Structure formats: C-alpha cells, structure tokens
Amino acid sequence: LGNFAKINFTVKQTGNFTVMEQERLFKVVAQNNIIFIDMVSKLGRKDQSNMAWNMSQNETVYEAMKGEFEINGRFKHIQFKLDLIQQNAKFFLEILHNQKTNTLEWIIIWLISLECILMILDMSGMGTQIMNSLPSFPSL
C-alpha cells in the first residue's frame, strides 16, 4: 500500500505517469499476485484438513486453533488489503491503457491526414510534379 501511496502522490503532482511509476506499478502488481498465490496455494487457508474430517476430536482442536490464532479475521484483513491493492492496480493499469490508446489514435489521425493530402495532390496533378522533383535513391 505504501508503494501505491507514492504512485498516487506523484500522479497527483504531475498529472501523469513517469517510466519509474510504470515500473513500480508493475512490480507492485506482481508482488500482489505472488502474495495472493502463496496465500491460496501454500497456506491452504480455505482447505479443510483431512485429519479434521476423519476424527471429530481433531475437528474440535482444528476449530479451536483457528479461533485462537484468529485465522479468519487475519485472512479477511489480508484479503481486504489485497483487494484494495488490486483495485488501485486495475485503476492505474486502465489509465496506462487509455494513454497508450490515445497516442495510437492520434497517430492514426495523422496518418489518415497525410494520406488525404497525398490523395489531393495526386488528384490535382501536382503529385507527379512533386515526386519528379524529389531526388531519386539508388535501388539495391
């Protein structure tokens, strides 16, 4: 969350992302994914122990230990933080996507404009005069 606070502060001041913020954002997203995968796969928090299912005495101990170590509350707290990080990451990644899309749209507009200018020159007859006046390049 501290990294997102830094990114938010920089974006608030400058109004856009720098390359450093983009790299930091990708690292934070990757770290978030690693933590979440570790929680689900290695801790097995959501999995019920086979031993607890086989013997009711073990199930009682299992439930007591979950309560003693406040596993459910801790997991909810961590899950809340990870969800907050995920929402921030999604927001910033959408902004990056929109910036890139905006740049590409402007490139397309300029290319279409250039094509229109060349078409108008060609239709007016000036296109051949301009092309003939350009120096020729030797062919390979």
Residue 109: per-residue pLDDT: 98
Q: Give per-residue pLDDT as tens, 65-124.
A: 878 888 888 888 888 888 888 888 888 888 889 989 999 999 999 999 999 998 998 889
CA distances from 65 to 52, 100, 131 (A): 12, 51, 84
pTM of the model: 0.60
The more confident residue out of 125 and 16 is 125
DSSP string, 3-70: HHHHHHHHHHHHSS--HHHHHHHHHHHHHHHHHHHHIIIII-TTSPPHHHHH-HHHHHHHHHHHHHTT
